[in-house]
A and B are shown apart, each in its own frame.
Chain A
Amino acid sequence: MLRLPPFDFRNARSAAEAVDLWGESEGRAMFVAGGTDLIPNMKRRQFEPPVLVGIRRLEGGRDLQTDDGLELGAGVTLRQLAAAPNVRESYPGLAEAAGQVANLQIQRVGTIGGNLCVDTRCNYYNQTYEWRRSVGFCMKKDGDICLVAPGSSKCWAISSSDSAPILMALGATVDVLGTDGPRTISLGDMYQDDGIEYLTLKPGELMTAVRVPAPGNGQRSTYVKVRRRGSFDFPILGVGASLRIEDGRVRDARLVLGAVHTHPLAVTGVSELMEGETPTLELCEAAAELAYKRATPLDNADLVYYWRKQVTRVHVRRALARLCGLEVAPGGVR
């Protein structure tokens, strides 16, 4: 049976206490929220922190407010999000994304904070110590080259969060608390193009809340997830899309892709392309073409990467068409 390495477990009751406990560990502790990402990683020895600071029970950590925009404690569970009537009503894409993470058991424990910070994935990396030893380790853990792209100086592990693309498309910001105090950053700024240091959070910085602006007039959002099975699987493509239809015209279209890069990929140019246009299938197709060009899946996840790139076009077109209220012919043309 796979087991955890030894560690000390400290449960924090408030965000400030969590940050303090982290400080006491001389920077070697890790936060654990639901643990549904960290625990398997620790069993495989991706991480062996001497101290775990439990943040599942932080005061206010599970608050979910929808008075003015959406304000989520970082400890809100994915199931809470998927089931909350207000979220489903006003931010359907977010409810869809949360409701498609892993499976129900994991959604009940996994948090939105943990989901946004979820480790990047690669099938050379998400393996046990012995397995990694037999391929000679990769730069993300214990080694010094990237086994997917051996010439590369950076790690190509894939950003695999389901909630990040849609929250970025919805213009979310996050509140973080560190030893230097609190700050608020846009969610997009929390990620960077590096499979190892994929977050811009400083060591010991704790995400405390996620905020999403109130939906604008006629705003719609959706999240499309591609994976082999209807349950368990991480995304091999995530499409987070949001736009408004006002007076028959597209406004504020935002498209963010997941699982095709080291960070959630905001597809630039889509807003400009669609802004003020009448929604048509051709328009969606053109936006999909932009997405297709930007997606750079590599050979380190399920199914072959050229297929994953190929279907980006299809799923983006379908997602946008659905948001625009257009009929998508089932099965395409013969």
Chain B
Amino acid sequence: MSDRHKLNVIGTPAAKVDGLTKSTGQEIYADDIDLPKMLFGKMLGAIVPHARIVSIDTSKAAALPGVKAIITGDDMPRKYGILPVSEDEYPLETDRVRFVGDPVAAVAAVDEATAEEAVRLIEVEYEELPTAFDIDEGLAPVAEEARIHDYGPRDNVHKLVNLHFGDVEGAIERADTVHEGVYFYSGNNHLAMEEHSAVAQYGADGRLTVWSSTQTPHYVHKAMAKVLDMPASRIRIVATPNGGGFGGKSDPFPHEFCAAKLSMESGRPVKITLTREEVFYMHRGRHPVLMWLRTGHDDQGHITALDFKSFVDGGSYGSYGVASTYYTGALQTVTYKIPNYRFRGVRVFTNKPACGPKRGHGTPQPRYALEIHLDKVAEKLGLDPVRMRRSMLVDEYTMTANHMRVTSCGLDECLAKIAEAADFERVRGTLPYGKGIGVAVGSYLSGAGLPIYWNKMPHTSVDLKVDRGGGVCAKCMEIDIGQGSNSVLAMTVAEVLGLTPDDVQLVVSDTDTTPIDLGSYSSRVTFMMGNAAKEAAEKIRDMLVAAVAEKLGLNATELVLRHRRVEHHGTGEGMRFAEAVPIAEAMFGQLSSTGSYTPPRLAGPYKGSGVGPSPAYSYSAAAVLVDVDPETGIVTPERVWMAHDVGRAVNPMLVEGQVEGSVYMALGEILMEEQVFRNGLHKIPSMLEYKSPTFLEMPPVETFIVESIDGEGPFGAKEVGQGPLLPMPPAVANAVYDAVGVRIDELPITPEKVMAALADKEKGGPGRFGPGGVPEVDFGEVLAVDPVWYDQPPEDWIPTVRRGEES
């Protein structure tokens, strides 16, 4: 690349633009907000897992001094839900509760202690109903009145998927070898350090403002208007900086509606901050998924067919569940060539907190199953697990059998990097008993190709406004949840305009003042907002260049913006950015611009194809070295090597941070974190007993950034926030096998499972701990879809820009 196109900001490690605000304690999170005359709200949760609400008596609570407002389900009798296909929640349930903790009433009082005392005084009479607590129970037939919801194909079945691409049976029959396996991935919580919090203020002007720690202010805005039956134009949602999200703040939540309604009732601002226990009940964390898979292979190990079933334990509400279910079958195909593919999935309702998206949304579970499975296949075929994987990777710029468009793919480089760094081929097999090494790969979206509700509007927009003094303000509804999206916005604008990131002022996450961004989920922000910001900045750049060219009599095509100047790329003749601005404003009027991004049409020709397509996929590969104490079963990860194809590292420091955070979170999931219930009641809703890794459990991580320079990403960038989680759980499981020869096909790998598997092995058994089988389920009518295959692109092939071809 000539010096002229050299990137000055993008690709350089840099401090986060809000780093110092955070490290000095100046950041204002939702619970830090204190408004004059503010009241404190508290919700009352159900104490039974499934029941009809017979009556609610709030009279004693109302009589308590200091109580200012009390609401129940009847005050907000309109349903909402993040997905239009499953709007099945009320902020406060009206006639039925579905899990322990399901909110039924809320109080606002002068202080939190009074509010808490008041909710304890509310008397609720329940008539208990039959319950379903796990996948098997969720699949069992139930009487109509006992169904958890009155929609879905049958009983407590929420969603069925039955997709068939190509001829799986035939390919299995023709395969050289066929392998089958069953796996279970348990559910776990995001455990963001900040407990959810919202402050609502209903003003005398009839306008409602809600400050909330949410990843999706736009969806909260929509739902708020619906539930409160108020014009959206009178509601303002401000997403406060999230003290961690990981997917756990992506739904509209009861406390947000309750704070709003209580404020409307009392005429005073109301704050509701959840307790840690309530956060465990609001949940929306990782779905527990039971999986079955069968693969056919040729004698080289190449996959000729994949048959996959997932059984998804949804908890009590729809949430993102329909999408989550599809996700458990969507991305198996984007890493390896799989010519024939069948996916059957079922999601059931159970009387537990609703599950939803957590880092990797629906994809870590099948990835876990597939990557352990392939490790077993490689062993049976006597193949090296890295080589076998590398011999069947998808090609760049192709389509998969299930119509996912793959653009850039640096997976081969990822595998090569970690194999070399870990000296995998040499180390494997030479380690002493108790030490083991394992590998696995993964892939994730750079933003969902389709919006959550059907529309043709942009997914994101960025407004830029240039001040006469040369200051640049970028506005976008994006919300920084710690991933660094504020920095990405500032850096992108700064790059195009030849400034530094701290020259760019940000106004973000406010439905009143910032243009649309759908939210911080599905790793969409860098890719989508980045493209929008780039477009907006390029418009400003063009105006500045035109103005300076005219003023100085230079050729506009030879001018560049760099080092806070607009200048000739060769001679350096030009002027300072701040000098150029008034000249351009005189020529064009106020210097403002908007950039937007709408993904290309990516959905395939079948129902359900809306979940999985992404404008680009990230890729990662991990190697993990573990120690297993064969006398106690305790697994200690000792080293991690992770290579991630991020397209382009916008800020390598933030990329590393996301990789390390993903590795950490994955280690929590694989080794200790688990939502455990006893008769529907969360057994351990506390940070002490829900175990998450401390400093002492975190091994060193060596990160390799692979840059495949995606043709459509901003400067070639893809995602990094979620993808690197995916290969970790199976890599650890594979390493445990390498260490002590037992297979733990169920998360988390607790010491007792290792001991049970070792004991089984001792007795001559297979030395495995995991689910025995899967239930028989009628997945409904097959949707047979002609597969697309990489060497036969369909006629309506979506044109894609390849690396190096970008403008």
Residues in A lying within 8 Å of B, measured CB to CB: 1-3, 123, 126-131, 133-135, 228-234, 302-304, 306-307, 310-311, 314-315, 330-332, 334
Contacts and interface: CB of A to CB of B under 8 A. Distances in A.
B755 interface: yes
A230 B276 CA distance: 22
Interface in B689-707: 689, 691, 693-697
Interface residues of B, number: 41
Contacts of A332: 629-631
B258 to A, nearest CB: 16
9 contacts: A2-B276, A123-B689, A134-B100, A228-B691, A231-B694, A303-B750, A307-B755, A332-B631, A334-B433
Contacts of A229: 672, 691, 693-694, 696-697
Contacts of A231: 694-696
A79 B752 CA distance: 33
A230 B697 contact: yes
B273 A303 contact: no
Nearest to A229: B694
A202 B695 CA distance: 42
Contacts of B48: 134
The 10 tightest CB contacts between A and B, nearest first, are A230-B696, A134-B47, A307-B752, A331-B434, A334-B433, A332-B631, A231-B694, A314-B631, A304-B752, A228-B691
Interface in B1-60: 31, 45, 47-48
Interface in B78-102: 100
B751 interface: yes
A311 B632 CA distance: 6
Given A1-B275, A130-B45, A307 B751 contact: yes
Given A123-B689, A314-B631, A303 B752 contact: yes
B112 interface: yes
A330 B681 CA distance: 40
Contacts of B195: 1
B631 A331 contact: yes
B604 interface: no
Given A3-B112, A314-B631, 7 more contacts: A123-B683, A128-B277, A134-B48, A229-B691, A231-B694, A303-B751, A303-B752
Contacts of B686: 126-127
Interface of B: 31, 45, 47-48, 100, 112-113, 116, 120, 195, 273, 275-277, 432-434, 629-633, 672, 681-686, 688-689, 691, 693-697, 750-752, 755
Nearest to A318: B631
Nearest to B117: A5
A3 B695 CA distance: 28
A31 to B, nearest CB: 23
Contacts of A3: 112-113, 116
A289 B365 CA distance: 41
Contacts of A127: 685-686
B633 A307 contact: yes
Contacts of A307: 633, 751-752, 755
Contacts of B275: 1-2, 128
Nearest to B671: A228
B354 to A, nearest CB: 18
Nearest to B679: A135
Contacts of B696: 229-231
B122 to A, nearest CB: 12
Contacts of A131: 277, 681-682, 685
A282 to B, nearest CB: 16
Contact of B688 (A134, A230, A233): A233
Contacts of A311: 631-632, 751
Contact of A134 (B112, B434, B631, B681): B681
Contacts of B694: 229-232
A234 B691 CA distance: 12
A320 to B, nearest CB: 15
B385 to A, nearest CB: 22
A205 to B, nearest CB: 29
A194 B120 CA distance: 31
A149 B385 CA distance: 48
Contacts of B681: 131, 134-135
A106 to B, nearest CB: 11
Contacts of B120: 129
B10 to A, nearest CB: 39
Contacts of B683: 123
B112 A302 contact: no
Contacts of B434: 330-331
Nearest to A102: B688
A306 B432 CA distance: 28
A7 to B, nearest CB: 12
B669 to A, nearest CB: 14
A305 to B, nearest CB: 9
B752 A302 contact: no
A331 B630 contact: yes
Contacts of B682: 131
B653 to A, nearest CB: 27
Contacts of B276: 2
A175 to B, nearest CB: 32
Contact of A302 (B433, B629, B630, B689): B689
Contacts of B47: 130, 133-134
A21 B461 CA distance: 67
B693 to A, nearest CB: 7
Contacts of B433: 331, 334
Contacts of A303: 750-752
A230 B112 CA distance: 35
A290 B532 CA distance: 70
Contacts of A129: 120
Contacts of B45: 130
Nearest to A234: B688
A229 B667 CA distance: 13
Contacts of B633: 307
B636 to A, nearest CB: 10
Contacts of B273: 1
A233 B682 CA distance: 19
A3 B273 CA distance: 13
A306 B696 CA distance: 26
A228 B752 contact: no
A306 B630 CA distance: 16
A123 B693 contact: no
A134 B116 CA distance: 17
A123 B688 CA distance: 11
Nearest to B750: A303
A334 B682 CA distance: 39
Given A1-B112, A1-B273, A310 B693 contact: no
A234 B113 CA distance: 29
A228 B48 CA distance: 31
Nearest to B100: A134
A331 B750 contact: no
A240 B108 CA distance: 51
B688 A232 contact: yes
Contacts of B672: 228-229
A315 to B, nearest CB: 8
Contacts of A306: 752
Nearest to A6: B113
B123 to A, nearest CB: 13
A332 B754 CA distance: 15
Contacts of A134: 47-48, 100, 681
A306 B694 CA distance: 26
Contacts of B695: 231
A334 B120 CA distance: 57
A128 B434 CA distance: 41
A130 B101 CA distance: 9
A81 B432 CA distance: 39
A314 B629 CA distance: 11
Contacts of A302: 689, 691
A331 B630 CA distance: 6
A132 to B, nearest CB: 10
B802 to A, nearest CB: 47
Given A228-B691, A229-B694, A302-B689, A314 B632 contact: yes
